Amino acid sequence: MQMTELCTEKDATHPTNGSPSSAMIRFTPSNQATPAPGNVLLSEPFLDDPYFGRKVVLLCEHNEEGSFGFVLNNYVDIDIDEVMDDLPKLNARISVGGPVKNSNLYYLHTRKDIAESIPVMPGVFMGGDFDQIRDMLLAKQLKARDIRFFIGYSGWSPAQLQEEIRSRSWFVADVNPSDIMRTDEDNETYWKRMISEMGDGFDHIANAPSDPSLN
């Protein structure tokens, strides 16, 4: 996974006498990154927010009218048949996609043959004919690994997301479709792995404490 843009700063001050020592690179989100649909937003490690702290958001739309996407790693302990009566039990994990319209159900999937689906990136589609999806699930033609359900979504007003990026709240990164559909990790492990996969030197961000005073 490659990050769209990287900002680094050097701290070469010796902790005791103020003289230069070996440079320590601190990686922080770029304030110039330009997100696009199919990118993921990775929250910076100290973001204190109940919905977005240590979260990974798949960006599905980003234009002059605003942005929206789904939090990939905010799981709840319910199955889809508890949310929709006419859907079968899947033993699939559901994520809270964000704070907007969280009484509604949304879905991503890998099947281009589902009518009215909207491509998000190669191999990943959003929405589509719900009756067709229900029938495919009942007929076991659609597996849990092929579809992900979300309660609510994450939305930004025009220019809001870019302003949050300028304030260094988010890393912007590419992502593999297989990582979008993956649900076998806990919330923080998923975020840590995605941060670490941005490249050499990012492990210390992934392993940073959530409380900056402990850093």
Q: The domain that contains 48 carries what CATH number? A: 3.40.1740.10
CB < 8 Å & 24+ apart, contacts of 54-59: 54/187, 54/188, 54/191, 54/210, 55/187, 55/191, 56/190, 56/191, 56/194, 57/98, 57/154, 58/108, 58/120, 58/175, 58/180, 59/35
Distance CA 49, CA 52 (A): 5
Q: Are 177 and 124 in contact (CB under 8 A)?
A: yes
The verdict on residue 201 lying in a domain is: yes
The verdict on residue 56 lying in a domain is: yes
The verdict on residue 182 lying in a domain is: yes
Is the model's pLDDT at 3 over the cut of 90? Answer: no
The verdict on residue 146 lying in a domain is: yes
The count of domains in the chain is: 1
pLDDT in tens, 70-123: 999 999 999 999 988 889 999 889 999 999 999 999 999 999 999 999 999 999
The verdict on residue 1 lying in a domain is: no
Of 21-30, 46-55, 62-71, 123-132, the one with minimum mean pLDDT is 21-30
Q: What is the span of the domain harbouring residue 44?
A: 6-214
The verdict on residue 207 lying in a domain is: yes
Is the model's pLDDT at 196 over the cut of 80? Answer: yes
Output the pTM of the full model: 0.85
Is the model's pLDDT at 2 over the cut of 70? Answer: no
pLDDT in tens, 127-172: 999 999 999 999 999 999 999 999 999 999 999 999 999 999 999 9
